[in-house]
Amino acid sequence: MKFKLEHKDSETKARACKIETDHGVIQTPIFMPVGTAASVKGVDQMVLKNEINPDVILANNYHLYLRPGPEIISEAGGIHKFMNWKSPILTDSGGYQVYSLSANRKINEEGVEFKSHIDGSYHFFSPERAVNIQKSIGADIIMAFDECTPFPATHEVAADSMRMSMRWAKRSRTAFQQAPGRGLFGIVQGGVYKDLRLESIAALTDIGFEGYSIGGLAVGEGQEEMFRVLDFTAPALPHDKPRYLMGVGKPGDLVGAVMRGVDMFDCVMPTRSGRTGQAFTRRGTLNIKNARHVDDHRPIDEECPCAACKDYSRAYLNHLFKANEIFGYTLLTLHNLTYYQQLMAGMRAAIAAGELTDFAIKFDEDQANGDIDPI
């Protein structure tokens, strides 16, 4: 995997970078749509590629391991052929899912025993096993296996958790075999504590990875605290490698994190919100199920090129959601993913032009004004 820093913003810590993988080029800043089980919920793969065209999507090791199983995916020729996706794929190691979905997990130095949320069967992930599964299905970017530190956590608890994750990171590195176009990312932990985050970064850079992820944020600490942690975490990461903030987030989170030097993001927010009636727009969010949209024949956003905005009205979308029609979920998901991709493209262009601060000011103003156009 190759990395090139193409532009740096003069007024912030933002960067525009290029990552070359075996299945294509990723331009950053980038938002990765989440395809947990080898599918971005509600969106056909060809529509995703032809209309939204993200450079990279994310799949999840935990979910794919449980169903359909890595053997099935490998027999199909790897995850790209299995799901008919020719562009890069990043796989999360499953560390967060083991934490969040398994009430009976047992952690020791070797790894984690966990109970399947599907059928109650017991399984075990070691760092080696988590990495080897990701390798076997052919992911372009693989995540090291780590422990998800609970929030809130005392300094002592966060320190113990982080240091075990660093030992697991070293074992993940050993298990990973270099291959053209592939990369392994280490994950920074340490809770909200500066000394622990810097200790984690030092340990990871000493091991050496193709990229560095920031884990353990967006877990309840709030945006202000997240930005405070990013202020000292992102600049301490290697400048010649990509930086990935895991599980983030809302549009304002993305803009603020990019200004602090983060390159890559993922979150279920745009797809999950699309299924519940929430639309993200340049003027904030709106709930398409609200009564005011019943007879509003305008699009969600006149400037959006997505199918939902080009071909359908708020009134029609309101009707689809009230009638529990699946087509409504698909249209709103397409809209949200399109908005997120446009937001990232706008930031990439602004960084290249040296205008990110102006972009961020206008973003904040538009979001604050809200959906004020008269009906």
CATH topology of domain 2-267: TIM Barrel (3.20.20)
Residue 284 has pLDDT above 70, yes or no: yes
CA distance 154 to 230: 19
Task: Encode 180-203: b = buried (16+ Cβ within 10 Å), e = exposed.
Answer: eebbbbbbbbbbbbeebbebbbeb
Instruction: Determine whether 364 is an active site residue.
Output: no
Task: Determine the pLDDT at residue 179.
Answer: 80
| Residue whose entry in the numeric block shows the structure tokens 């983030």 | 248
What pLDDT is stored for residue 375 in this prediction? Answer: 46
Annotated catalytic residue, options 55, 266, 296, 301: 266
Q: Which of 343, 356, 203 is nearest to 282 (CA)?
A: 343
5: pLDDT strictly greater than 50: yes
Chain segment 184-193, per-residue pLDDT in tens: 999 999 999 9
Q: Is a pLDDT exceeding 90 seen at residue 373?
A: no
Average pLDDT, the chain: 96
pLDDT above 80 (res 87): yes
Place 370 in a pLDDT band, splitting at 50, 70 and 90: confident
Name the pLDDT band for 369 (thresholds 50, 70, 90): confident
Predicted confidence band of residue 103 (pLDDT cuts 50, 70, 90): confident
Contact 312, 299 (CB under 8 A): yes
Paired residues of 20 in beta bridges: 2, 25
Domains in the chain: boundaries: 2-267, 274-369
The per-residue pLDDT for 102 is 76
> What pTM was estimated for this model as a whole?
0.97
Rg, the chain, Cα only: 20
Query: Is 9 a catalytic site residue?
Result: no
Please report, for residues 101, 233, 251, 284, 313, the alpha-carbon distance to residue 225 in angstroms, rounded to integers and kept in the order given: 25, 12, 17, 22, 38
Q: Find the catalytic residue in 92, 140, 296, 301.
A: 92
In this structure, what token pair is assigned to residue 137?
């299905």
